[in-house]
Structure 1
Amino acid sequence: MPRLVAKGRSHFPFLALELLTFPPAHRSDFWSPICLQVSAAAFQPAARSSLLEPWCRSSAEPETRGPGPRAMEQQHLASSSALRDTEEPASCSGVKEEVTSCSFNSPLFQQEDKNGITYRIPALLYVPPTHTFLAFAEKRSTSRDVDSLHLVLRRGLRTGHSVQWGPMESVMEATLPGHRSMNPCPVWDQKRGYVYLFFICVQNHVTECHQIVLGRNAARLCLICSQDAGCSWSEVRDLTEEVAGSEMKHWATFAVGPGHGIQLQSGRLIIPAYAYYFSHRLFCFPCKARPHSLMIYSDDFGVTWHHGSPIQNLVTVECQVAEVTRTAGHPVLYCSARTPNRRRAEALSSDCGEYFEAQSLSQQLCEPPHGCQGSVVSFRPLMIPNRSQNVRDKSAPSVQQSPLLDGLLKPEEVAGAPSETWLLYSHPTNKKRRVDLGIYLNQNPLEAACWSHPWILHYGPSGYSDLAAVGDEGLFGCLFECGTNQECEQIVFRLFTDQEILSYVQKD
């Protein structure tokens, strides 16, 4: 009987399979049952937190942690923030809902049953002309990826430092027959006034791990758009062939986001994505299908879409990007990507995301085992404090060019040219588990060791998150997964100011 042996650790989904004994007379009869066995329940992911799960984000049995005193305090704050208001509602349907104020966590999506309806994978977008937050999530029949149903949305109308939320709506336009909708990734096009919502549609009952092992993609790249800040949506548009083209034969599977996309100063729209790439097959199996982050972009305001080159030298999956501008020189695109290597991947592109010339593993930003999605946004600070007060690791030199910039920018381009934009980054802060979601501040992305210590938004189980900046007002929103015992208990929204995080950073 022929047998298959996995090279390396057997729980890697991008394992290489090697046939050790193979009777020639039975080749045609052998591979069919083996392929059926590979696609069976043995490859169903229990969670996206172990590396046949690594990139299988969902948790059938999410991590647990008892509610310590800080977690109970946060839970109390969350419950006290569900206030009623009589002002004009944010919802298009005119139903009054709760209000979020600064410094309070407001639950927007609540798990209905431990083994039942669950909301995961947050995505957040701010639409400036209407002062509206769009909060997206996946609605699932259980917490597992394979049980995703469709996308849901809540709209929040911002007034000053508070947000009034409308009711939850199902985005049924974002569906394909026989598929489940996943990974919401919205972007705002200020030139045309459109909201583009990217997502993937995956064949029902087909897991990501099944696609990776067999090298048979079951995902479709889809898009809908709105001209009224999410009140109504266009019909779905399938972009799979347009974007992937001939590369699709080398993609075992792919996904966008999750979380927001961005529009650059040049007008280019960028959607972060990743694909499991393999160069060739050994019989019916892909050889060494490995994930690499890449960008999907449009230079004609959403009419046509293309993909850039993948980040080649690192194993990278879910990612987000932010544009970093400087007082001198061209803007640089910064990418933060999930890895299984216990360190966050960082990459820089000088050509607006078509190619990332510099990549490295961050020495300051840790990942839990098998990693976790995180979010990053850039913003212009309202007030720039004395540069001597920049917050950096105490062991870091006073001024040092980031290793990412080696070969990308000339030293004279960096020296004496501070960044006009800062970065915020959200992610679970614990090295061992997905707990204690925090916000990191980087006051100069072009210098080494400039990430602050995290400001904790939630003590306890936490997972995916998405950040949104409110123009140049020094105001931010964070939509993130959290709970008391499990990270998938709820998705909450937090509004905070730049002064809150600066006060923490300076105090720390």
Structure 2
Amino acid sequence: MGNSPSKNVTGEEPVKTTLFEKEPNGITYRIPALIYLRHSHTFLAFAEKRSSPSDCDAKNLVMRRGTLRDDGSVQWSLSQELLTACLPHHRPMNPCPVYEKHSKTLFLFFICIRGNTSEKKQISTGKNKARLCCVSSSDDGQNWSQVKDLTESVIGETIHKWATFAVGPGHGVQLENGRLIIPAYAYYVPYRCCSFPIPCTVYPRALSVFSEDFGQTWHIGKMLRKKSCECEMAEIIDHEGRSHLYCNARNTGRHRCEALSENSGVYFDKPHLAPELVEQRYGCQGSVIGFPAPEFVPNDDAESKACGTSLLSPDTQTWLLFMHPTDKSKRRDMGVYLNRSPLHSSGWDKPRIIHSGPSGYSDLAYNGDKDQFSCLMECGKESELEQIAFMSFTLNDVMQAGKKDKKLH
């Protein structure tokens, strides 16, 4: 099965390739994660295989391998279950891959939840049933190690202050200084009465799990001082070469939560809401990725050129792309937002719709060789749970400002 990138010359939505599709027997695929391995021109697409759409019915993590051909098409392998990515009597969830370029090791983080315990029950009882787990591969995902349960070594006694936690879902990132970052969030329990959390005091907060020694040991950073849930992170390099770690997190306040770290994820300062980034009432996971700011922007429209001098002399060497459903009330109309001034809270352009209709979780990847973006997303015609689809598009596709509306069609 191949997929040719959409040239989008007519403003149509990019071509989709269905990688995981809901089966007649009820088996559902959810929670996409995508990584592009530049050295081998390989995409790895991950998802949860569930016996029903319910979180409690997650069974296995699955993966498909995509080989990028010279003509830009992607040849996909059949789906395979990751048999080592599990713990006995637990269900694996939230795939979160990151590639360590020095040791050429691919890490796949995920959580394992005891039995069919729901997140809601963990929050109400204050009794965590989640474990932090990881498998690794030295051959680009062809073979995987046995699972490692990192809960005790990484989280330690802090776990007793968490009702539950998770990683991602989506991709991690390796910073220019070599540090590996896994986005995560935890439901912190500030007060207890008779061992139970005091109602309405437990809410999620984003944080990072990081490694300074190429994945040999891992540590947890400090949580954001604001309500923030499922998140992804991206490195921003400013015009003086300094690194800033950006966090974009799910929220229930009608807008996404953003924060910056000046110490590579140990601590995030001044979290705030992003007024340009729409969030549904109960929130939805979203994806963000950083990429080198272009020296020249092809086919940029007059309106964009009038936005300021950032196109010619940007304040950063990095731009951001963010992907999320754009409808204010429902998970539908998947949009891509561009930020050319990512160190400023109001730098987001209006979204470009790349899928009109039901849309859910997503994950972005960037191919620097072809200067192209790819994504996995939950989508469908009647429900976002119908399939997980892959598509590719260019920066020019995103920047083409429609004069009549914000859509790509």
Normalised by the length of structure 1, the TM-score is: 0.74
| Equivalent position SS for 1:351 | coil
Shift of 1:504: 4.0
What does 1:200-349 correspond to in 2, within 5 Å?
200-287=111-198, 288-312=201-225, 314-328=226-240, 330-349=242-261
Determine whether 1:110 maps to 2:21.
Answer: yes
2: CA distance between counterparts of 1:175 and 1:162? 33
Amino acid in the other structure paired with 1:101: S
Amino acid in the other structure paired with 1:434: R
Aligned to 2:315: 418
What does 1:80-479 correspond to in 2, within 5 Å?
98-103=1-6, 104-113=15-24, 116-160=26-70, 161-287=72-198, 288-312=201-225, 314-328=226-240, 330-385=242-297, 391=304, 418-479=315-376
2: CA distance between counterparts of 1:319 and 1:228? 28
2: CA distance between counterparts of 1:398 and 1:165? 42
Moved over 3 A (4+): 381-392, 397-400, 504-508
Backbone CA RMSD of aligned residues? 2.1
Summarize the Cα distance change of 1:494–1:285 in structure 2 as closer, same or farther, 3 Å threshold.
same
Count of equivalent residues: 391
Could you tell me whether the CA contact under 8 Å between 1:307 and 1:354 is conserved in 2?
Answer: yes
Could you tell me whether the CA contact under 8 Å between 1:382 and 1:472 is conserved in 2?
Answer: no
Could you tell me whether the CA contact under 8 Å between 1:399 and 1:447 is conserved in 2?
Answer: no
What does 1:15-34 correspond to in 2, within 5 Å?
none
Determine whether 1:496 maps to 2:393.
Answer: yes
Could you tell me whether the CA contact under 8 Å between 2:206 and 2:249 is conserved in 1?
Answer: yes
For residues 182-227 of structure 1, give each alpha carbon's deviation from its aligned partner in whole angstroms, at most 9, with x where no partner exists: 0000001111111100000001121111111000000100000001
| Equivalent position SS for 2:154 | helix
| Equivalent position SS for 1:364 | strand
Could you tell me whether the CA contact under 8 Å between 1:250 and 1:280 is conserved in 2?
Answer: no
Could you tell me whether the CA contact under 8 Å between 1:452 and 1:505 is conserved in 2?
Answer: no
Shift of 1:329: 5.0
Shift of 1:280: 3.1
Greater share of helix: 1
State percent identity of aligned pairs: 48
Shift of 1:358: 2.1
Amino acid in the other structure paired with 2:275: Q
238-247 vs 446-455, which moves further? 446-455
For residues 217-241 of structure 1, give each alpha carbon's deviation from its aligned partner in whole angstroms, at most 9, with x where no partner exists: 0010000000111100000000001
Structure 1: stretches of 5+ with no match in the other structure: 1-97, 401-415
Normalised by the length of structure 2, the TM-score is: 0.91
Amino acid in the other structure paired with 2:5: C
Greater share of strand: 2
For residues 334-375 of structure 1, give each alpha carbon's deviation from its aligned partner in whole angstroms, at most 9, with x where no partner exists: 110000100100100100010011211011001011110000
Could you tell me whether the CA contact under 8 Å between 2:49 and 2:60 is conserved in 1?
Answer: yes
1: CA distance between counterparts of 2:123 and 2:111? 16
Could you tell me whether the CA contact under 8 Å between 1:296 and 1:307 is conserved in 2?
Answer: yes
For residues 226-277 of structure 1, give each alpha carbon's deviation from its aligned partner in whole angstroms, at most 9, with x where no partner exists: 0111100000000001111111110000000000000000000000000000
